[in-house]
Amino acid sequence: MVPAAATSERDAERESYAFVMNVLELTDGESYELASGHVLRRATPDEISVIKNTVQSIVGSHSAPFGFYLFWEYRWPYQGGTLELLPEGDWRYYVIAFRGTNVTLNRLQAAMDLAPMELEIGFTFLYDLDMPLLGPGMLWNAGRLFHVLEAAQWDNSFFKRVAGADLGAITAIHASLAAHDKQLIDVERLARRVGELKSFPHESPLRFLGYFAILESLLTHAPKPTDPYDSVTRQVKRKVALLDHRWPDRINYTPFGNASSDTVWSKMYAYRSLLAHGEAPSELTVLGSSEQALQLVKETVKSVIRHALAEPQLLFDLREC
């Protein structure tokens, strides 16, 4: 990916921008064009001031150990009891700058939700090009913003060191979404569903159930009552295993010890059934923890959707068989 040209404070006048909340640093350059006219870069001093005031007004001053309005200015990961303010040049305020409507930006967020490395847009300041003298309007998803930040303050993996290859993956997914024919599988709709799940609390069982529902919609058909081998559970296990052999990045089963993929997905279905019936599992044998189970189904869903972009006919046929 070719780095974008540097942006001066003057160049940024009347430029719309979206606050990208979880970039620790760009390792290969100062800025990158993710889509035509949409550049990921450090925020300007004026943009930082607006972002800080906005975070403070939306989330409040005391939501994290040091207040979320300073969340991007202290060394990370946070070491309990020790707060180290970074030099201003190391603050973690990054934006995607663009002009025009937010249509491409929305598709970029969908691509980020599907990418191996997920970047999080918090809110967007959008200028109306027909009324340039007016200030920008603000666009944001209140539930998603709140719950992403709620989990982030205790998650040492929230901030990402972002390389050109990571951004190249996002760019490629975005291009595929833009060119995708939804006649066979409406991948954009599925990507929106993935994004909507971030509006639930991180610990909510509804997130796990939501990812499972998306996975089943991608891979399964209504089982034939007369065929004992056509159950939804068996379909998912068989088809996930088939697809996993086609992916360059295989599903990571190492957190589950020496258990086979068949055993892991049997346990996943047992866990799903308990949650769907309102039960709270006291022990997660094999799966280890609810967080590991959530991560497995989430990453599997993302991989299947990305494959649907590459081979939609295969996914369509696989669902029916």
Question: How many other C-beta atoms are found inside a 10 Å radius of the C-beta of residue 151?
Answer: 14
321: tokens are 């068989």
- Distance of alpha carbon 248 from alpha carbon 215, whole angstroms: 19
Q: What is the pLDDT of residues 214-252, one digit of tens each?
A: 999 999 988 776 666 668 888 899 999 999 999 988 999
- Distance of alpha carbon 216 from alpha carbon 316, whole angstroms: 13
Least confident of 119-133, 196-210, 251-265: 119-133
Looking at residues 158-166, what average pLDDT do you find? 97
Q: What is the pLDDT of residues 135-152, one digit of tens each?
A: 688 999 999 999 999 898
- Distance of alpha carbon 297 from alpha carbon 313, whole angstroms: 23
pTM over 0.85: yes
Strand bridging mode 23-26 / 160-162: parallel
Nearest 5°: phi and psi at 124? -130, 135
> For a pLDDT cut of 90, what percent of the chain falls above it?
70
211 has pLDDT over 90: yes
10 has pLDDT over 70: no
Strand bridging mode 16-20 / 137-140: unpaired
- For residue 6, the 8-state DSSP code is P
Q: What is the pLDDT of residue 282?
A: 73
Residue type, 124: T
Query: Is the four-CA dihedral 216, 220, 222, 225 of positive or negative sign?
Result: negative
Q: What is the pLDDT of residue 1?
A: 47
Q: What is the pLDDT of residue 76?
A: 84
Assign residue 277 a region (left: φ > 0; alpha: ψ between -120 and 50; beta: otherwise): alpha
17 has pLDDT over 70: yes
Residue 106 near residue 87, CB atoms below 8 Å: no
Q: What is the pLDDT of residues 105-128, one digit of tens each?
A: 999 999 999 999 999 999 999 987
Q: What is the pLDDT of residue 69?
A: 66
Residues forming a β-bridge with 3: 32
Helix axes 290-310, 232-244, angle to 10 degrees: 70
Q: Where are the domains of the chain?
A: 16-172, 182-320
- Distance of alpha carbon 58 from alpha carbon 68, whole angstroms: 10
260 has pLDDT over 60: yes
Q: What is the pLDDT of residue 153?
A: 81
7 has pLDDT over 80: no
Per-residue pLDDT band for 64 (boundaries 50, 70, 90) equals low
- Distance of alpha carbon 293 from alpha carbon 132, whole angstroms: 49
Looking at residues 28-54, what average pLDDT do you find? 96
Q: What is the pLDDT of residue 132?
A: 56
Residue 239 near residue 210, CB atoms below 8 Å: no
Q: What is the pLDDT of residue 57?
A: 86
